[in-house]
Amino acid sequence: GDSVTQMEGPVTLSEEAFLTINCTYTATGYPSLFWYVQYPGEGLQLLLKATKADDKGSNKGFEATYRKETTSFHLEKGSVQVSDSAVYFCALLNTGFQKLVFGTGTRLLVSP
């Protein structure tokens, strides 16, 4: 079945550091890929998405490129802020299915 693998956390960075959170997937066909962010005590917010190979999703300084050849969708940000501290979930949605398949989540901690 479909699956998503994320790097283990927590990821601890200083403010203004470069961020990469790795995400790889296993799926048949051509799934859509998503990054969701969950701030403490809140629900999930869509951060960005990509629906086909080589698409780049971007939002609030975060970017991720759908790489079919490496089955990856790594999340990057050039300069993190303390307010970016949250849990980040990578997820996929395959054609004909309504079930999001989530990775385990990666906690990001940014210190001043």
Partner 1 sequence: DTEVTQTPKHLVMGMTNKKSLKCEQHMGHRAMYWYKQKAKKPPELMFVYSYEKLSINESVPSRFSPECPNSSLLNLHLHALQPEDSALYLCASSQAIGDGQETQYFGPGTRLLVL
Report d(CA 109, CA 91) in Å as an integer. Answer: 21
Closer Cβ to partner 1, 19 or 106, answer by number: 106
Report d(CA 74, CA 26) in Å as an integer. Answer: 14
φ/ψ of residue 82, rounded to 5: -55, -35
- Rule CB under 8 A: which residues touch partner 1? 29-32, 34, 36, 42-46, 49, 51, 89, 93-100, 102-105
**Nearest distance from residue 54's CB to partner 1, in Å?**
15
**Nearest distance from residue 108's CB to partner 1, in Å?**
14
**Nearest distance from residue 94's CB to partner 1, in Å?**
5
Closer Cβ to partner 1, 18 or 30, answer by number: 30
Closest CA to 5 of 28, 29, 21: 21
